[in-house]
Amino acid sequence: MRDFREIISYLKIYIAQDKESKVYDKDVAKELDISQGQFATLKKRNSIPYMQILQFCYQEGLCCSEVFFEKEG
């Protein structure tokens, strides 16, 4: 299972598909409907916001297992 930083990196790559500029933590926080301060605290504690990520996956039609788990092989 991926840790917080790996999940955020995956989400940044996914979000970047729709943008022409670099995606920052604040962009991910906005997409997850989390304040920048709360996001920074979660990042510092390596605490994954499961509910917000699952909601984002549902809204985007993204497979949550791809977000949380690395593909083997």
67: which 2 tokens? 């977000």
Distance of CA 40 to the CA centre of its chain: 13
Q: Where are the domains of the chain?
A: 4-68
Euclidean distance between CA atoms 48 and 31, whole angstroms = 15
Q: What's the pLDDT at 72?
A: 61
42: which 2 tokens? 């979660």
Q: What is the mean pLDDT of each run of 10 residues along the chain (73 residues)?
A: 94 91 95 97 95 97 93 62
